[in-house]
Amino acid sequence: MTSILGNGVVITGGPRPDVISCGGVAWHGDRIVEVGPADELRREYPDADVLNAHGGLIMPGLVNVHHHFYSALARGLDAGAPMVNFAEVLDRLWWRLDRALDAETVRLSAELCAAECVRQGCTTVFDHHSSPSFIDGSLDTIAAAVERAGLSAVLCYEVTDRNGRDGAMAGIAENLRFLEARDNDARIRGVFGLHASFTLGDDTLREIARLRPANAGCHIHVAEDPVDGEETRRHFGTDPVTRLERYGLLDDRALLAHAIHLDEDAYATIARCQAAILNNPESNANNGVGRLDVAEIADRGCLVGLGTDGMSSSILRALRFGFLGQRHARADPSAGFEAQPRLLDANVEIARRFFNEPLLGELRVGAPADVIAVDAVPPTPLQAANLFGHLVYAAAEYPVRHTIARGRTLLEDHRHTSVDPAAIANEAAEHSTALWERFHALQWGARYLG
């Protein structure tokens, strides 16, 4: 059965995006078969199912390169402890929440976020997971939630030494097991997950370097806060990027979240190794850890993508927030248009490094049918040249009407077809009281290296 999403302004994406007013996209199975004027598509496929974009934007499904599904049940949680710097936020909030998670709350947290990705038009998501009390099989639990929702994902478990040697070894085993299990999977892939240099001892990094498959990639937090560099230098006599390179972890499948507090040499190393930096402007602001100057870092030759870091599942809103943040920080109303538009393209490039899909993220014949419609009817001329203005000043504030992933309609006229987010939230609410009780029973004051 062929389907059409029509009656919208098609933005094809890709290095030279086309804009087709009164356009549409047709797909058969999981592949796009035609992109063009909507009336032509309907003539060509008279029996097709038709979804109506009601004049809004028809775009490629969005990619989020850094998410934490495990963080969803922290909403409204009072840590009951002062948190005056980032190390305390980790120790007193996140490293207690992750230890309090069990199989059930990992599942519900992932289901909630996967549903939110669907609602926000994100069809490919990179998740970075931690649940030290439920490590073995946790990635299967998340993968099942992602599959139920209908998304594509790149998953990992964050290895760390802060919960002792056994915890680190269990994390390594979970990554290896999942990488092997999903080696030939078209929709769900693995990448090797690490927490951050300052909670990883040399023994553990040596073990990872020895066991990690050559093309597995890695997904790690780097210099999110100065504490990463300070502790790494104190214990290991070097900076986090040099350290990762020494263990052979920097290549074109290395995903370095944040990368804020680094020097020129470190950025040069990242660029030389073709590793990707994942910028998370909303969470950087929330944690008060500083800001990545995207334009400056891109000028140094680094590929910079955009994530939400568990703050939300809306990439368009993160794009808008990051754009405004650049202008605010530089006190410069002309900033932002040079590098920010490349963030979404970078996300596509990063996703293509993990999926065998050279057209992923574009509306082209033969591309995977990942298509969304956003209810932002352009009230002014829209061309490829001014697309970014339409995205940050309008589209980010409008709901996504339709989400189609690999040809399957997951959101139709704002209604979920694959999952029921209210039912998931209600079930999560039943479990979150006990989760929070476990959280409050846990001590803080963790040691970074176990």
Compute the least distance from the CB of residue 128 to Zn ion, in Å: 5
Compute the least distance from the CB of residue 346 to Zn ion, in Å: 17
Residue nearest to Zn ion according to CB distances in the complex: 309
With contacts defined by CB under 5 A, name the span among 31-39, 233-241, 305-313, 336-344 that binds Zn ion: 305-313
Compute the least distance from the CB of residue 402 to Zn ion, in Å: 29
Judged by CB under 5 A, does residue 239 bind Zn ion? no
How far apart are the C-alpha atoms of 57 and 391, rounded to whole Å? 10
Interface size with Zn ion, residues (CB under 5 A): 2
Compute the least distance from the CB of residue 307 to Zn ion, in Å: 7
* Residue 182 vs residues 170, 175, 191: alpha-carbon distances, Å: 18, 11, 10
How far apart are the C-alpha atoms of 231 and 372, rounded to whole Å? 43
Residues 247-286 that bind Zn ion (CB under 5 A): 257
319/391 with CB nearer Zn ion: 319
Compute the least distance from the CB of residue 280 to Zn ion, in Å: 7
120/409 with CB nearer Zn ion: 120
293/309 with CB nearer Zn ion: 309
309/370 with CB nearer Zn ion: 309
How far apart are the C-alpha atoms of 236 and 118, rounded to whole Å? 42
Contacts for 296 with CB less than 8 Å, ≥ 6 apart: none
In the chain, % helix, strand, coil (3-state, to 5) comes to: 40, 20, 35
At 286, list the tokens.
Answer: 């929330």
Q: Which residues of 236-274 are buried (b: 16+ CB within 10 A; e: fewer)?
A: beebbbbbbbebebbbebbbbbbbbbbeeebbebbbebe
Compute the least distance from the CB of residue 181 to Zn ion, in Å: 24
245/309 with CB nearer Zn ion: 309
152/280 with CB nearer Zn ion: 280
Task: Count other C-beta atoms under 10 Å from residue 363's C-beta.
Answer: 29
Amino acid at 191: V
With contacts defined by CB under 5 A, name the span among 209-217, 228-236, 309-317, 351-359 that binds Zn ion: 309-317
With contacts defined by CB under 5 A, name the span among 14-22, 32-40, 109-117, 302-310 that binds Zn ion: 302-310
Tell me which of 282, 309, 362, 375 binds Zn ion, using CB under 5 A.
309
Compute the least distance from the CB of residue 67 to Zn ion, in Å: 8
The DSSP bridge pattern shows strands 371-374 and 400-405 to be antiparallel
Contact yes or no for 277/300 (Cβ under 8 A): no
19/303 with CB nearer Zn ion: 303
Residue ranges in contact with Zn ion by CB under 5 A: 257, 309
